Amino acid sequence: MKKINVMVTGAGSGVGQSIIKALKISRLNLNIISADINELNAALYRTKKSIIIPKIEDKNSLKKIIKILKINNIHILFIGSEIEIKFFAKYKDIILKKSKTLVSVTNLNVVKIADDKFKTIQFLKENKLDYPLSFLINKNSKIDKMYKRLKKPFILKSRFGTSGRSVIKINSKKQFFNLVSLTKKPMIQEFLGKKNKYFDEEYTCSIFTSKEGDMIGPFTSQRILKNGTSWVLKTYNNSKLKKKVIEIAKKINNRGTINIQFKKNKNKFIPFEINSRFSGTTSIRAAFGFNEPEFYIRNFFLNQKLKNLKIKDGFVFRYVEEIFLNDSNIFNLKRNFSKGKKIEWL
């Protein structure tokens, strides 16, 4: 089989790194290009070839990105930066038409639901699914009354936050008043779950829907978080949780991968967040036999029919690793981008 050229944006992010790791352990014959807006990102130096791309908010960014994809004959573009998801969902058809590059992102309507944490709650509510009690705080809110609407502790977070950032457990009135004005687009949410001896009662789950509408998975796991990142994770084979994941996936009508976060509360699995994208645990799932980037290539690009597969059981622990480089080569990436240089494969 001829090599398939794939590019991963946001290579320096946890999601981008995770996609690259999953692609590397795939059995497919791939050329992997890591791409980022900043040359000072470690993941750019974990692939044989890498490139600097423009910020999506830059003038003529779409035109420049299409040019890069065409010059380098990229077959599939994976989005590793959460900030870029909406942009690429909006323009994926134009990109396909002008560069013949498939963009691995779902439809814009699903992205809009997942990108907005309050819209996620509304979606769950409207579809008669379980959800945590949640309220928006805006300029018309009476802060005193808002504080009284939930039992303590409760969660204060940004409506448009990402990767566990700006998620704060509120235990007192003073803490709430000190932090609410510092939170961008704040919302409050009931606190669910508790911690047992080792693990939080929090579950990260993923399911892949093929272009024909067939569902692969789900992959379900329990985790310990550290600064919003899954730090320790174990597979969690629970039929009730799997049924919940499938139910949500059917209602939201996603294509490709989607991951859903749950809390266990009073013996019920309550969904509280949906991500219409790959995640920081994509590589972990791939190592256990559930390789979503590979699923996408096989189904959407190679037109192969996907079958459910055996997922291995186990634990995973994360750790920090360093990369050492000769500094004379680091800024070549920036110069190569400015010249519109084509990437040459060995």
Range 289-295 average pLDDT: 97
For residue 190, give the amino acid letter. E
pLDDT at 210 over 80: yes
Using the 8-state DSSP alphabet, how is residue 181 labeled?
Answer: T
pLDDT at 1 over 50: yes
C-alpha torsion angle, residues 164, 170, 173, 175 (rounded to 10): -60
Backbone dihedral region for residue 266 (phi beyond 0: left; psi -120 to 50: alpha; all else: beta): left
User: How does the average pLDDT of the chain come out, rounded?
Assistant: 89
Angle between helices 239-252 and 117-126 (to 10 degrees): 100
Count Cβ atoms below 10 Å from residue 112 Cβ, excluding itself: 14
Range 196-220 average pLDDT: 87
Peptide bond into 218 cis (omega under 30): yes
For the stretch 308-338, pLDDT in tens is 888 999 999 988 888 877 665 666 666 555 4
Range 172-194 average pLDDT: 88
Question: Domains, the chain, ranges and CATH?
Answer: 4-105+321-338 (3.40.50.20), 133-190 (3.30.1490.20)
- What pLDDT is recorded for position 109? 93
Whole-number Å distance between alpha carbons of 63 and 161: 28
- The answer to whether residues 118 and 112 touch, using CB atoms and an 8 Å cutoff, is no
Q: Which residue has the higher pLDDT, 198 or 239?
A: 239
pLDDT at 193 over 80: no
Beta strands 215-226; 202-209: pairing state: antiparallel
Count Cβ atoms below 10 Å from residue 27 Cβ, excluding itself: 8
Count Cβ atoms below 10 Å from residue 202 Cβ, excluding itself: 19
pLDDT at 343 over 70: no
Using the 8-state DSSP alphabet, how is residue 117 labeled?
Answer: H
Strand partners, 34: 8, 50
- What pLDDT is recorded for position 346? 43
pLDDT confidence tier of residue 71, bands split at 50, 70 and 90: very high
- Provide the H-helix boundaries in 78-200: 85-99, 108-115, 117-126, 143-148, 173-180
Q: What percent of the chain has pLDDT over 90?
A: 64
pLDDT at 282 over 60: yes
C-alpha torsion angle, residues 301, 306, 310, 312 (rounded to 10): 20
Closest to 115 (Cα-Cα) out of 274, 291, 331, 324: 274
Hey, which bits of the chain come out as E strands? 4-8, 30-36, 49-52, 76-78, 102-104, 134-136, 154-158, 168-170, 186-190, 202-209, 215-226, 229-235, 256-265, 268-275, 315-317
Q: What percent of the chain has pLDDT over 70?
A: 90
Whole-number Å distance between alpha carbons of 287 and 203: 18
- pTM for the full predicted model: 0.91
